Amino acid sequence: MTEVSRQVIADISYPTFLNRSGKGTPILFLHGSGPGATGWSNWQYALSALGDSFECLAPDLVGFGQSMHPDPPPIGISSWMRMWIRQVVDVLDRLGIEKAHLVGNSLGGGLALHLLVERPDRFDRVVLMGAVGVPLRLTRELDLIWGFYEEPSPQRMMQMIRWFTYEEEVNEERLREIAQVRYEAAMIPEVRRSYEAMFPAPRQRHLDEVVVADAALRRIRHPVLLIHGRDDPIVPLETSLYLMSHLGGDVQLHIFGRCSHWVQIEYRERFHRLVSDFLGEGQWRG
């Protein structure tokens, strides 16, 4: 397994905490939006496994983890999305990376879609996992995740973390570890301040604001691999089916049965092989 290094990129618009591993063609990993989420919490296994073949970059998005927390923070997801787009491009510029592969999970998948629309020249192949960014009715689970701070507690964090995996009893010990780490991270004052500003109620509007228009989806010509858990209660499979029928380029869809929202954790070895084959030279058959 490849060693992971950590650094703070301070001399850009939004100072960014970055997890980094490996050498070779760069992959930029974008994490999801759960309370306490970071680049490390979403991508710790991928950073080690895929670092054998690629240069893996997993930043904390602005407002998450150890990256910058604006004070006062903007209210609502649209303003945050503008910051994240600039942050990602600035990180690539600062590292001297002209083009990278892109992997986005959940809200990170929605950010990936916006990056492909606005800066298509900076990205090559793309993996989207349980991505938002298409028309979607807010699920009860996602509403409670985004509303975590209305009643924050370790017990509620554990309840939410269980939703992210299908085989709860198999992963119980590991889920408890994740829930403890995520709760501690979520209760850092600046993390809480940022998160509450991102997702104030009513929360359906935040999903609506990140939707990429159908006409823009058709203009995305990058090769795309869609990955989704069949049993995802947070961002349902229908979102990937929508992307499958609306993206304009070569696109594949891989569905994992008996799997919820965290394919990269529940089926991490198969996920790593799938992503490595897709992103590796000569593997795309489209």
Surface-to-core class of residue 284, CB atoms within 10 Å of its CB (0-12 exposed, 13-18 middle, 19+ buried): middle
228 given a catalytic annotation:
no
Contact 62, 16 (CB under 8 A): yes
Residue burial 171-183, b: 16+ Cβ < 10 Å; e: rest: beeebeebbebbb
User: Which residue among 101, 114, 222, 261 is the active-site one?
Assistant: 261
User: Which residue among 222, 232, 240, 260 is the active-site one?
Assistant: 232
Beta strand 251-256 with 16-21: parallel, antiparallel or unpaired?
unpaired
Contact 82, 73 (CB under 8 A): no
DSSP three-state, residue 104: strand
User: Which residue among 33, 41, 106, 260 is the active-site one?
Assistant: 106
232 given a catalytic annotation:
yes
Q: Under the phi-then-psi rule, with left for phi > 0, alpha for psi from -120 to 50, and beta for the rest, what region is 120?
A: alpha
> How many of the other CB atoms lie within 10 Å of CB of 281?
8
Catalytic residues: 106, 232, 261
